[in-house]
Structure 1
């Protein structure tokens, strides 16, 4: 087993322990010492891999959701991506509730923003290639921020209150809105509007 394999297995063991504790107590009450004792690791091992409990949580969410999303062709499989994300929310309600309770809406949103930003950037790159367009860097960054904030917010709202809209409505609305409006924004070529948009 390589050092990378050992490190991954160690991290996965800590994730399993964190999940176990999150079943019975709030995230803010879970300690590094408890996780180390449960896993049979010392604190040095924990801090070699993670800065704190929230860093472990972030890694867990990235591994289970965000990295999996990046395996899809985001341009062609947008509906599958949205379905996958909603499945993840459904399968991990308790964990996400713990995150929401510990960090609030804005804290939870921060977890998703950077990764959504990267995914939107990949979609834009694909659309630029498709249309032969090159967006001004400032406008490209604006679009990434705009759509990342919108997606993070709408998913958290739905997670927190399922009465807002049905699952199928969520899938349809997100897929349709992102595909049509983002494609329109990319093909508009914001750089043609002049220096104020660059």
Structure 2
């Protein structure tokens, strides 16, 4: 593993350990670097701020998790894997998703999901315009965030429904057919 990734992982681990007892908003870059045993310059060489570190941790973790689980193969697998990943890192993500200001993980996850849904829309509706695919991506990312955020803020105490139920509710066959039909016109 390149040294740069080792340092990023060290900083992420430090943040994760601190977040087990302290809300993200109360954690400073000094807290992170002191806990990690590195200097502030090292932190700022890799990240703009603590929120950039949180977003890197999410991107690095979720991408590996989805690839490892072959979750890009279907809607069902992807939705289940996202929920499983968040649950496996429950303390961190409950804390990180509580912040919704500039550079927030909420914003980052929305954009991440939007890109996935936009790509799926493009695959499902090859004649759709880029704007149509973007709007479909935003719609489904917003719908999923509307469920994920309250669930995370509530401490992820209950299991969110499994994917066949998600897909039936979010992507009913009739809606998919209607979307394809309206694009073809």
Is 1:9 paired with 2:1? no
**Residue 63, structure 1, aligned to residue 60, structure 2:** yes
In the TM superposition, residue 8 of structure 1 has moved relative to its aligned partner by 0.9
Measured in 1, the distance between the counterparts of 2:67 and 2:119 equals 9
Q: Which has the larger radius of gyration?
A: 1
Indicate how the Cα distance of structure 1 residues 52 and 125 shifts in structure 2: closer, same or farther if over 3 A, else same. Answer: same
Q: How many angstroms apart in 1 are the aligned matches of 2:166 and 2:76?
A: 8
Indicate yes or no: 2:130 matched with 1:143: no
CA distance in 2, matches of 1:126, 1:66: 20
User: What aligned pairs does 1:66-105 form with structure 2 within 5 A after superposition?
Assistant: 66=63, 68-69=65-66, 72=70, 74=72, 76-103=73-100
Q: TM-score, normalised by structure 1?
A: 0.77
1:154-182: per-residue Cα shift (whole Å, max 9, x none)?
12233334899853x35333222344356
The 3-state SS of whatever aligns with 1:155 is: helix
Change (3 A) 1:39 1:26: same
Q: Identify which of 130, 134, 139 aligns with 2:127.
A: 134
User: 1:28 is matched with which residue: 25, 29, 42?
Assistant: 25
Cα distance in structure 2, aligned partners of 1:80 and 1:180: 17
Return the structure number with greater helix share.
Answer: 1
Would you say the 8 A contact 1:70–1:119 is kept in 2? no
The count of corresponding residues between Structure 1 and Structure 2 is: 181
In structure 2, the CA distance between the partners of 1:70 and 1:119, relative to structure 1 (3 Å rule), is farther
Structure 2: unaligned runs, 5 residues or longer: none
For 2:152, the equivalent position in structure 1 comes to 159
